[in-house]
Homo-oligomer: A and B are copies of this chain.
Amino acid sequence: MRTLYTFFRSSTSYRLRIALALKGLDWEPRFVSLPNMAHRTPDYMALNPQGLVPALVEDGKVFAQSLAVLEYLDETHPEPPLLPGDASGRAYVRGLAQVIGCDIHPLNNVRVLKYLKARWQLSDDDASEWYRHWIAEGFRSFEETLAASGLSGSCCLGDTVTIADICLVPQVANARRFLCDLAAFPLSVAIADRAAALPAFEAAHPSLQADAF
């Protein structure tokens, strides 16, 4: 059996829940409450010294970093593939996933918002402004990359779900939770909304997880 250390609202956990569902893989959840700092307890740090969620445990091995775990799941369970078959297509899809995984999410992580508020006494409004700034810049980058390539269909690349869609859907959900205006990114939002309606994406939605509140 495989175990996923997850928090319902963590968008990186959400990515892995989607991939596990797409691959039809069974998993058991272990809930790690970020508000309760459960990711920083000695027990969890012994499992994943990075002190972040998600972590996947399979065959006694612990895997951290969601983008790395997506590739691991794709390599060990190739059907359906989450990356295209050609090197340049893979570079394109990985690049899109990384616009979200490297240019948007790390800046808007809960730990970053907390630090800004604690260290410089920024208000909730300031933190929201920060959040929205990086959403706007990151989605501009994502949208223009999609538009310039002309490669999107119902999904980011053609009509097949890839890791780009798997990263996009949780980021759009998060942006909406922070009331970001996404009107300037119609291509990205339409792709995310179509993907979010697929059964595997629906099953992975934060609101359906047993730790949701």
Contact = CB atoms under 8 A, between A and B. Distances in A.
B65 A102 contact: yes
Contacts of A105: 102
Interface in A132-147: 133, 141, 144-145, 147
20 contacts: A49-B141, A49-B148, A50-B103, A61-B88, A65-B102, A67-B98, A68-B90, A68-B95, A68-B98, A69-B91, A71-B90, A71-B91, A71-B94, A72-B90, A76-B87, A102-B102, A102-B105, A107-B107, A107-B112, A115-B133
Interface string A99-121: 10111011100001001000110
A63 interface: yes
A64 B112 contact: no
Contacts of A133: 115, 119
- The 3 nearest A-B residue pairs measured at CB: A49-B144, A68-B94, A72-B91
A75 interface: yes
A52 B102 CA distance: 12
A35 to B, nearest CB: 19
Copies of this protein in the assembly total 2
Interface in A53-84: 61, 63-65, 67-69, 71-72, 75-76
